[in-house]
Structure 1
Amino acid sequence: MVASVGSLVEDDRVAAGYSLLDASGEPVSPVSGYFHHLAARDFAPGSIKAYGLALLRWWRFLQAVNVDWSQASGEDFVDFINWMRSASPRRGGAADPAKLSHPGRPRPSTARRPQVGYAPRTINAACAVLTDFYEHHAAAGSGPRVNPVLGPAWQASAREMAGDFSRKGRSIGRQKVPKAAPRSIPDEAFDALFTLLGCDRDRALVSLYLSTGARAAELLSMNGASVDFANDRVRVVRKGGSTQWLPTSPDAMVWLRLYLGPRRLGLEDALWLTRRRPYRPLLYPAVRQAFRRAQDSIGSVYTLHQLRHTAAYRLSRDPSMSITDVQWVLGHAHIGTTQLYAQARPEDIYLKMIDHHRRVKVEPPMQPIAGGYKPESLQVLFGTDK
């Protein structure tokens, strides 16, 4: 049993912005030094947080098996991977029936089968983080010289001795990740959903999400200096910290004006605020809950991130937009990520196939050679005199 000891907390006293605490509440010194180097390598705060969560799982596992981090072996790493494959990750408590929009009827999104094991991408990320963590300490001379995350060379020799060459390309711990096309919201469903949003703020946010393709956190961090009404564009801060102006639709700017109303917005003032006093900057959980609440009456379970997928899908279908144009709008570092949106949706293919079959002219079946039959008999049988 791996106990939930220790925590990853925000810490303004360090350059990384995060500290990993042990069971006694003290910072874990090897991780603190590693975080310090990550900050010097210009890692984004979100990336450092993701690295910290992976290391927190590793530290909790090592405490459960009573092994020091500097004494961990390859077998400990294998056990850690198998534990992640079979553990049940915590995903929040059960929903309170009193807080449901329709008491007694659970939301479709909560009626999911319990997940067994962490997601393959989470396990692969843990492998990459642990590899970099131990390589950092090996280079600095502050950790073991042998990386417990088994390298491909060691594994290749082990498979050769065992006579197994079937999995030569995959290292131990690396999981298969299914390739799924990004899910977008159909136009009819979006139109129905948009009419159910409860206020101009939510309509303005959803319109900006769909017209700019920006990430949820990028739009929520906007302030008064991020809006240019004269040119119909907004400025967002990308994941890497760079700023970018994105054109928006005129409808989105109209909803934004309706939301602001007579409010005087300073350059440093947060753009999105809560609707109840005391007014505070709007956070992602509140927007997500408002988006879910609007879907209660229609029974859909679309997510905010699917609005970004929908924007990318629409842009990729525009013949005047090249794939590099879509990459720039979405802020992707690699064009391979953008090409995922070039895949057709199954429902669109289905409709095209229906139209295709309706357009194809069915040719009359070939008739047998008449031979000695009378033309009158052939006309009676086949409806033609040929």
Structure 2
Amino acid sequence: MNLFVLGDIFSGLLPWFISGAPPKGMPAVYNFFQYFGRSADHRFEAIVVNPHISRVISFENGSKIHLYKIPVKNRILFRLLCLPISYIYALKHIRKGNFDVIYGMANYSLIASLLGKQYAKTTVCRVFGSLASDFVKKKRYSKVFSRHLLEYLTARFGRDILISTNDGTQYDALVEFAGRKGVFYHLYNGIDQAFHEKLSALPPVSYTRGDVLKILSIGRLSHWKRHDLALESIRILVQEYKLNAHLEILGDGPDRSKLEARVKDLGLEEFVTITPGQQQSGYLEALQRSHVCLFCYDNSNLGNSLWEAVYAGRLIAVRSTGDTGTIFSHKKNSLVGAEDKFPEDIAEKINAWIQSDLASTQELIEEAKSDISRLILPWPRRFETEIRIISDYKPSM
């Protein structure tokens, strides 16, 4: 199978795109390129328009990613230009190559759909969940069209095969709202097997009442990751329950200064550390020094960071948003807090665990590992599933 890919400039991949350094996020895309770039049976040619750099990343089977720089610093202007410019670059490549599939990532799925129709090629629209589904569930439809119009158009009109990451944000609700007629698949991400082994090799959680309880909140420093709720949770634990506890927030993003200001406003300077996003070794160290991993996201918490925290053998404390509750149950495999008034609820449950339920820690951790191991495949098997979907696709007449 020979794929032409329209990629996106995902922030977690910037170190890799720019200098070849290990990525800090977006493993679904990184592993996609690695798998198809090493395959003996499949190859790809990809373009990624971006505001940073022009270069070519080559792979052992001849696959290539062509990074094309658009020298525009204004984010809004870049977003206006990137789709038509990517179409122009794509035309040049498609005219020269013999591709079986046009594969578009995120909003570039719309350009892939246009090209797929133009050249009569099977099209895959690959999306990675959506915050629009929350507005659909709340019947705030004007927000869907004003903030997530391209995502709506992809869900409705994306050509041939639509594949979304099942990250718990309930993208299927957006698909249903859009009235999609075409094929749709909702697939969990995979996990890198070598990284899985490193996570599983970390020493088990060892916490005794009176020790410093080390809590880790992982995620991009943006509003919907809700690190502000993590801050309020630690405030309640240390100021109201008088626990000896420390919160580490791990990630990069636009809300760093806001979070730093909030730490000062709450008087938590000695109880909170904000650590920049780490490459794999630093990430493993952050997981190892934690007892509890706290996930407070809006819409959903299901995703690679959560799977990795489980495989690392950390106790999970999670907010019940999106489809999170379909996998994580309170006192069965985790500590689960209500979506509303989450800081108060999860702080109460963490304190109760410390005071009367520490003996259950390893049982909760092992149950979580068992539950997700049935869902999360090694990346090669996950991509084999996707290849079967594409190979078996028959256009409706």
- Under a length normalisation based on structure 1, what TM-score does the superposition of the two structures give? 0.29
TM-score by length of 2: 0.29
